[in-house]
Structure 1
Amino acid sequence: MSSLSEYALRMTRLSARLFGEVARPTDSKSMKVVKLFSEQPLAKKKETYDWYPNHNTYFGLMGTLRFLGLCSGSKYRESTFILKNQKCKYKKEKGKKKVIYNLTTKIKLL
Structure 2
Amino acid sequence: MNKYVEIMKVGTQYAKHMEFLRNRIFVEVARNTNEKSMKVVRMFSEEPVQKREMITNWYPRHVETYVLMKKLREYGLFRDEHEDFKEEMKRLRKLRGKSAPKKGEGKRSKK
Q: Is the structural similarity TM-score above 0.5?
A: yes
Q: What corresponds to 1:77 in structure 2?
A: 83
The answer to whether structure 1 residue 26 and structure 2 residue 39 are counterparts is no
Q: Deviations over 1:50-87 (max 9, x none)?
A: 123233432332232122111132x3322211212222
Shift of 1:9: 0.7
Structure 1 residue runs without a partner (length 5+): 98-110
Please state which structure has a larger fraction of its residues in helix: 2
Shift of 1:37: 0.5
Question: What amino acid is the match of 1:81?
Answer: E
TM-score by length of 1: 0.64
Q: What corresponds to 1:48 in structure 2?
A: 55
Shift of 1:16: 2.6
TM-score by length of 2: 0.64
Question: What amino acid is the match of 1:65?
Answer: L
Give SS of 2:96's match. Answer: helix
Shift of 1:35: 1.4
Structure 2 residue runs without a partner (length 5+): 1-8, 100-111
Q: 2:65 and 2:50 mapped to 1: Cα distance?
A: 24
Shift of 1:8: 0.6
Q: What corresponds to 2:22 in structure 1?
A: 15
Question: What amino acid is the match of 1:69?
Answer: G
Report which structure shows greater RCO (CA 8 Å, sep ≥6). Answer: 1
